[in-house]
Structure 1
Amino acid sequence: MPRLEPGTVAPAFTLLDQDEHPVSSADLRGRKTILFFYPAAMTPGCAKQACDFRDSAAALADAGYAVYGISRDEPAKLRQFRERDALPYPLLSDPDHAVHDAYGAWGDKMNYGKVIQGVIRSTFVLDEDGRIDQALYNVRATGHVARLRRILGIG
């Protein structure tokens, strides 16, 4: 799967959020946005990453960033995850992984020594015009948000 590069226009999408409301990439224009792709709601690593974004939500918002999490989970499971972990940002459902594909966040990966197809944990920072500012692939669940804040110059 091709990887996105800084400066390219982010792929367009419309996905349902945890409350089954459509969210379109066109809605994100005019604001800096962080999209993070994670494998599965309510799993330990994904909860750690989501909670790290939660704990940095105020600093990211103060710096002008909106945050959205994207997984293959259905909206009902996303709603449960958001409520359980008090996540203050929307979670988007991409059950057929079409948006994952468009962003290069789906493909071959190693799992216990075997090559499988699955979610490549990735984060994208979009500028106000909907262009890729940062494309970070194969990120770790732990420590990623702190690294992202350093990259973005957010203390």
Structure 2
Amino acid sequence: MSNRLSAGDTAPDFTLDDSNGNAVSLSDYRGENVVVYFYPAASTPGCTTEACDFRDNLNSLKSAGYTVLGVSPDPIKKIAKFADDQSLNFPLLSDEDHSVAEAWGAWGEKNNYGKVSEGLIRSTIVVDGEGKVSLAQYNVRAKGHVDKLRRNLGID
């Protein structure tokens, strides 16, 4: 299991392709607060709920100075369809080899209904403008997560 990030850690930089095939790097957002959320699989019920919650709350997050990036191990074609089907208004990034998820502590052993497997752990990490982790949440629940995140960040 990879090491989890904590507040004060330097967020590992990454470059991943988005749903349009464009390279996106964390360093592109230096000077901004970035919410990086890891989700297991596009177009599944929990991931759709979470993505739509981010979509529906994006204006208030942006108004409070936060950019949202979604990361999954899905291939570009799958995340592109997901983004289109759900009218998602923020970048989705493809981490097919899960190297970014591993570096961010979002890949490892998980227990789903008594079945232990290795995979992506639903996680949200907030990075400040200097590239430092300001909040790290692992094993989050899809439903209600964005509301809880907004409360944690002090966003009305």
Task: State TM-score, norm by structure 1.
Answer: 0.98
Task: Give the whole-Å Cα distance in 2 for the aligned partners of 1:5 and 1:68.
Answer: 19
SS in 2 for 1:56: helix
1:86-120 per-residue CA deviation (whole Å, 9 max, x = no partner) reads 11000000000000000000000112312110111
* Runs of 5+ unmatched residues, structure 2: none
Partner of 1:117: 118
Distance 1:131 1:113 in 2: 35
Amino acid of the structure 1 residue aligned with 2:22: H
2:73 equivalent in structure 1: 72
Task: Summarize the alignment of residues 60-99 of structure 1 with structure 2, pairs less than 5 Å apart.
Answer: 60-99=61-100
Out of 8-17 and 111-120, give the one that drifted further: 111-120
Match of 1:4 in 2: 5
C-alpha distance in structure 1 between counterparts of 2:27 and 2:105, whole Å? 20
Aligned residues: 155
Partner letter of residue 111 of structure 2? Answer: M
Counterpart Cα distance in 2 of 1:12 and 1:65: 18
Which residue does 2:53 correspond to in 1? 52
Per the alignment, in what secondary structure is the counterpart of residue 110 of structure 2? strand
Structure 1 Cα separation of the partners of residues 80 and 124 of structure 2: 21
Structure 1, unpaired ranges of 5+:
none
Measure the CA separation in 2 of the matches of 1:153 and 1:31: 17
**Which position in structure 2 is the counterpart of 1:37?**
38
3-state SS of paired residue (2:54): helix
Q: Percent identity?
A: 53
Q: Which residue of 1 aligns with 2:154?
A: 153
